[in-house]
């Protein structure tokens, strides 16, 4: 099947990740895309399974098993969800093709990458021959918000029962057909200060939780500075911490008894999300004794992607890029992806796909259709290059 045709179909099926907001039910969640994919796989006679990652939100995974035993697996992964459509200046679900571009929400991030993978997958299915690796196409939910889809994949038996080193994972994101083999991770949590509320006309009778948060702010800032001056990754720079939101109080005439701040900590490869939170917690408690504040458990945790397992995959994919494009570029990027969750299991994982991240999440999101064909061709070569002759 033509990747442009598949992409137009996918863009016409809204699959917005509401990210905690209240949006129209006919636009949110991945079920329409999941149903389309199931029909696509089964109509081609491919084995597939759905698995619930969140209520009503299912990953769908299809398996292309070669005749005879396969000694290795190539896993294609792409997320089904998109970001919301606020402020878009084009029809978000039109899928219009004009001037070599296809327009719509998700065209670039990452239904375009998914379409290239699906087209390659179906082509490989037609050509199926013994000696080729098993190819798995995993279409996950909730990448744009909580990473629940890929966590479900990482825990599934068909991944766990394999030797991680026997898998090569390619994660679709718009990398402009470059290979991304390293990126930072992220962990997010809350800091809550507690006080005692009373009427604001007698503030001496209360304990103001906002003042208490204020006392912690310079401590946090010093910690963030220390982190920025800490160990540097040669390609990703230093780890970082940002205090992004403070919320406290209920009304101007009440002394507030609670104040909450939110943190975004960016991780380097090798840093465990939970350990990063624990380090912050113990720094705060040793600098400010008392039980009037609490550092919560993280509500989002995604590791960084390191390049320690993926050298052979980068080499193999790089050969395919050179054949199709005449060159191959390997880079590190600042944004996080599903690749890190697989990399954490010791699975060689890279990020690769058509489209430019600069067009992701934009008001007139588009992708060059030419890149869809090139990505498809490169992915087919990757599998064929891994086949036994």
Nearest approach, Cβ of 119 to Zn ion (angstroms)? 18
Q: Whose Cβ is closer to Zn ion: residue 124's or residue 305's?
A: 305
Nearest approach, Cβ of 132 to Zn ion (angstroms)? 28
Q: Whose Cβ is closer to Zn ion: residue 79's or residue 212's?
A: 79
Span of 27-35, 49-57, 160-168, 169-177 interacting with Zn ion by CB under 5 A: 169-177
Span of 132-140, 166-174, 188-196, 198-206 interacting with Zn ion by CB under 5 A: 166-174
Q: Which residues contact 17 (CB under 8 A, 6 or more apart)?
A: 28, 29, 81, 82, 83, 84, 142, 143, 144, 145
Where does residue 379 rank: exposed (0-12), middle (13-18), buried (19+ CB within 10 A)? Answer: buried
55-114 binders of Zn ion (CB under 5 A): 109-110
> H/E element holding 381?
helix 369-386
Structure tokens at 57: 């939100």
Nearest approach, Cβ of 350 to Zn ion (angstroms)? 15
Q: Whose Cβ is closer to Zn ion: residue 207's or residue 365's?
A: 365
Task: Report whether 280 contacts 263 (CB < 8 A).
Answer: yes
Q: Whose Cβ is closer to Zn ion: residue 40's or residue 110's?
A: 110
Q: Whose Cβ is closer to Zn ion: residue 151's or residue 258's?
A: 151
Q: Whose Cβ is closer to Zn ion: residue 30's or residue 109's?
A: 109
Q: Whose Cβ is closer to Zn ion: residue 54's or residue 246's?
A: 54
Q: Whose Cβ is closer to Zn ion: residue 185's or residue 248's?
A: 185
Span of 24-32, 42-50, 171-179, 224-232 interacting with Zn ion by CB under 5 A: 171-179
Nearest approach, Cβ of 78 to Zn ion (angstroms)? 8
Number of residues that bind Zn ion (CB under 5 A): 3
Q: Is 170 in the site for Zn ion (CB under 5 A)?
A: no
Nearest approach, Cβ of 172 to Zn ion (angstroms)? 8
How open is the CA angle 345-349-353, to the nearest 5 degrees?
145
245-304 binders of Zn ion (CB under 5 A): none
d(CA 180, CA 294): 37
Q: Which residue(s) pair with 101 in the sheet?
A: 98, 368
Nearest approach, Cβ of 79 to Zn ion (angstroms)? 6
How open is the CA angle 56-62-68, to the nearest 5 degrees?
150
105-164 binders of Zn ion (CB under 5 A): 109-110
Nearest approach, Cβ of 109 to Zn ion (angstroms)? 4
Site string for Zn ion, 22-41 (x = CB under 5 A): --------------------
Q: What are phi and psi of 189, to 5 degrees?
A: -150, 175
Radius of gyration of the chain (CA): 23
Q: Which residues contact 135 (CB under 8 A, 6 or more apart)?
A: 63, 64, 73, 74, 75, 76, 121, 124, 383
Structure tokens at 64: 């292309």
Structure tokens at 324: 């199709």
> Residue 181: CA atoms inside 13 Å, Cβ hemisphere, count?
20
Nearest approach, Cβ of 173 to Zn ion (angstroms)? 5
- Applying CB under 5 A, which residues contact Zn ion? 109-110, 173
């Amino acid at each position: 099947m033509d990747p442009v045709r598949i992409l137009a179909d996918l863009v016409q099926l809204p699959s917005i990740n509401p990210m905690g907001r209240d949006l129209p039910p006919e636009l949110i969640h991945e079920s329409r895309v999941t149903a389309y994919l199931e029909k696509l796989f089964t109509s081609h006679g491919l084995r597939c399974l759905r698995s619930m990652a969140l209520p009503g939100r299912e990953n769908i995974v299809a398996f292309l098993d070669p005749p005879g035993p396969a000694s290795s697996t190539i896993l294609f992964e792409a997320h089904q969800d998109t970001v919301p459509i606020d402020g878009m200046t084009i029809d978000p679900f039109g899928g219009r093709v004009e001037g070599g571009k296809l327009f719509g929400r998700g065209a670039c991030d990452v239904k375009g990458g998914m379409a290239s993978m699906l087209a390659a997958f179906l082509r490989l299915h037609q050509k199926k021959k013994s000696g080729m690796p098993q190819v798995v196409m995993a279409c996950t939910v909730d990448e744009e918000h909580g990473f629940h889809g890929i966590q479900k994949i990482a825990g599934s038996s068909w991944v766990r029962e394999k030797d991680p080193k026997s898998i090569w994972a390619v994660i679709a994101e718009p990398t402009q057909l470059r290979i991304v083999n390293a990126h930072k991770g992220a962990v997010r949590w809350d800091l809550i200060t507690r006080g005692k509320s009373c009427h604001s006309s007698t503030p001496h009778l209360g304990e103001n939780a906002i003042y208490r948060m204020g006392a912690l702010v310079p401590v946090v800032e010093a910690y963030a500075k220390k982190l920025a001056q800490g160990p540097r990754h040669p390609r990703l720079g230093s780890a970082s911490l940002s205090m992004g939101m403070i919320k406290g109080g209920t009304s101007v005439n009440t002394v507030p008894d609670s104040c909450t701040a939110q943190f975004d900590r960016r991780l380097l490869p090798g840093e465990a999300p939970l350990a990063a939170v624990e380090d912050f917690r113990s720094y705060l408690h040793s600098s400010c004794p008392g039980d009037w504040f609490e550092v919560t458990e993280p509500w989002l945790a995604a590791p960084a992607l390191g390049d320690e397992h993926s050298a052979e995959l980068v080499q193999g994919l790089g050969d395919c890029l050179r054949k199709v494009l005449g060159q191959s570029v390997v880079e590190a990027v600042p944004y996080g992806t599903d690749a890190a969750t697989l990399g954490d299991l010791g699975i060689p994982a890279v990020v690769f796909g058509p489209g430019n991240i600069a067009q992701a999440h934009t008001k007139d999101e588009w992708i060059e259709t030419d890149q869809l064909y090139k990505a498809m061709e490169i992915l087919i070569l990757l599998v064929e290059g891994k086949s036994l002759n």
